[in-house]
Amino acid sequence: MRKKVLQAVTAAAVLALAVSGCGSTKDKSAADNGGQGGKVGATVPLLTSPFWQSYNNYVPKMAQQQGVEALPTVNANSDPTKLITDLNNLLNQGVKGLVVTPLDSAAVVAGLAQAERKGVPVVAVDVAPEGGKVAIVVRADNKAYGTKACDAIGEKVNQGKVVQVMGDLASVNGRERSEAFRECMKAKYPGVTVLEVPAEWKAEKAASGLEGLLTSNPDIKAVYLQAGGVYLAPTLQALQRKNLMFPVGDPRHVVLVSNDGIPQELDAIRKGELDATVSQPADDYAKYGMYWIKKAMAGETFKPGPTDHGSTIVETRPGILEDQLPAPVVTKANVDDKALWGNNL
């Protein structure tokens, strides 16, 4: 299916040149609405994860803060085909901008093509597309997620078996986290054997896959959860069922490191159940999704370099720019930091 989608899509647009100090410049031909704004459509990939529930709640707040008229969010419900239909419906409603959270990095290209044909700018959040035209992608460095998790585990486990419960490999996020974790372990902790569960961001797949590995490998030393919002609860349950649930500091403890930074993960760190998480900025995803779409609707284009909000725009592929937001590692030492969005809900 993904090949058919990609065959139907035109090549990615050439990156426009820009000259302003904050990474953007005015381009009158880039917006058909004369810079007058208009309604913005926003999507969420799923609402079964506390992370995406939080992002969904932030969207209207941040849209109001940025002076953007956002329609109620549309939930793709983990279905890449539904997301394309949702985008088409939003375009038919006459939106002047789209803030899209892709599920499948290839499949979303068809929706981007629809938007481009209608002259509607798109900001992608969290997941980068494999092609098509977007004004900018708002996300954190997902390779760094995998590397940070690798180091957090490697500091405590320098040999033995480690599991990574992966995301959907149809998403660039799942691929980047998996590859970075794997490569880091091979390079820095050669005594570690990496076992893998392809869980597709689904709790039930994480639970069944991990339980199977724990049965055949009761000597597993650590688990990396690429999405704590979806995987943490089933992982703790699987460890409890296998009588492997011991607190941090106990020599029998299975080291757990995750991604997301939701309140449940922070509480698990406080309880000694979870060693660390990488805090993915749900609040700033919503904030800067709206920030950039407002600029794109006004005809601005962007270029690599530092932003005015402490991040850096990088060109990851020709024509694809990313505003890579900070994603700090959270441990017992900083879990109560009020700057963490998970402590401010």
Q: What is the pLDDT of residue 5?
A: 36
Q: What is the pLDDT of residue 181?
A: 98
Mean pLDDT taken over the chain: 91
Q: How many CB atoms lie within 10 A of CB 316?
A: 16
Q: What is the pLDDT of residue 37?
A: 78
DSSP state of 223: E
Q: What is the pLDDT of residue 345?
A: 84
Give percent of the chain above pLDDT 90. Answer: 88
Q: Is 59 helix (H, G, I), strand (E, B) or coil?
A: helix
pLDDT at residue 82 is higher than 50: yes
Task: Note the helical H segments in 132-262.
Answer: 142-154, 172-188, 203-216, 228-241
Q: How confident is the model at residue 237 (pLDDT cuts 50, 70, 90)?
A: very high
Q: Which residues contact 35 (CB under 8 A, 6 or more apart)?
A: 297, 298, 299
pLDDT at residue 212 is higher than 90: yes
Has this prediction a pTM greater than 0.95? no
pLDDT tens per residue, range 101-135: 999 999 999 999 999 999 999 999 999 999 999 99
Residues forming beta bridges with residue 197, ordered by sequence position: 165
Q: What is the pLDDT of residue 36?
A: 55
Q: What is the pLDDT of residue 317?
A: 87
Q: What is the mean predicted confidence (pLDDT) over 314-326?
A: 93
| Domains and their CATH numbers in the chain | 2-140+281-329 (3.40.50.2300), 142-279 (3.40.50.2300)
pLDDT at residue 9 is higher than 50: no
Residue 193 burial by CB count (10 A; 0-12/13-18/19+): exposed, middle or buried?
A: middle
Q: What is the pLDDT of residue 34?
A: 43
